Amino acid sequence: MNTSQHVLRDLGMSRRGFTKLAAFGAGAALFGRSSLVLAGGHADALLLSCMDYRLMDNVASYMNGRGLTKHYDHVVLAGASLGAVSDKFPAWNQTFWGHLDVAIKLHAVPKVIVMDHRDCGAYKLVMGEGHLASVETERDAHAKVIGDFKQQVAAKYPSLQVEGLLMALDGSVEAV
């Protein structure tokens, strides 16, 4: 056993694993640091949705239905658009913008999809229940916050597309 084999054995690493590592190292040296930053490839969008457990499967089904399976980054904040822009949640705001920045740097996302939903607990926490008077007033409340969200994205990233959506509890989705 030569010295490198001893090192591999001590690291618990197979020769094959070492070869992969060596190839990666050579690639890193060849392409430099900036290419490594983009090594994550390309995603078609960043999705911001609420954390509500009732709709997680519907959200995934909706994205799959659009052919976006494994092609989007996903940030989850209670309230979705509200979590990103409400001054009630400054730490959440910062978390969202930080993640959007990373999604752009790592995966060159060209679009943000914000998916609010009806009967959202975060909206009730911030606004009370007045906006739930009718399906229209509830939609208007989401449209206003999503409008603020779109403006903030446009101000920070003028070339980014933004799509606002509102999901009902049956999983149906309307544009907002």
Using CB under 5 A as the criterion, what x/- string covers residues 45-74 for binding Zn ion?
-----x-x----------------------
Question: Is residue 117 annotated as involved in ligand binding?
Answer: yes
Sheet holding 45-49, edge to edge: 72-76, 45-49, 111-117, 161-167, 173-175
Judge whether 37 and 101 are in contact, CB under 8 Å: no
Question: Is residue 52 annotated as involved in ligand binding?
Answer: yes
At its nearest, how many Å lie between Zn ion and the CB of residue 72?
A: 19
At its nearest, how many Å lie between Zn ion and the CB of residue 122?
A: 5
Q: Report the b/e string of 123-136 with b at 16+ CB within 10 A.
A: beebbeeebbeeee
Judge whether 84 and 149 are in contact, CB under 8 Å: yes
Residue ranges in 109-148 that form contacts with Zn ion under rule CB under 5 A: 120, 122
Shorter beta-carbon distance to Zn ion: residue 86 or 107: 86
At its nearest, how many Å lie between Zn ion and the CB of residue 113?
A: 16
Q: Return the sign of the alpha-carbon dihedral for residues 75, 76, 78, 81.
A: positive
Q: From the CB of residue 56, how many other CB atoms can be counted at a distance below 10 Å?
A: 13
- Residues in contact with Zn ion, counted by CB under 5 A, come to a total of 4
Question: Is residue 170 annotated as involved in ligand binding?
Answer: no
At its nearest, how many Å lie between Zn ion and the CB of residue 102?
A: 23
- Between CA 129 and CA 117 the distance in angstroms is 15
Summarize as ranges the residues that interact with Zn ion (CB under 5 A).
Answer: 50, 52, 120, 122
Could you tell me which residues are annotated as the binding site for Zn(2+)?
A: 50, 52, 117, 120
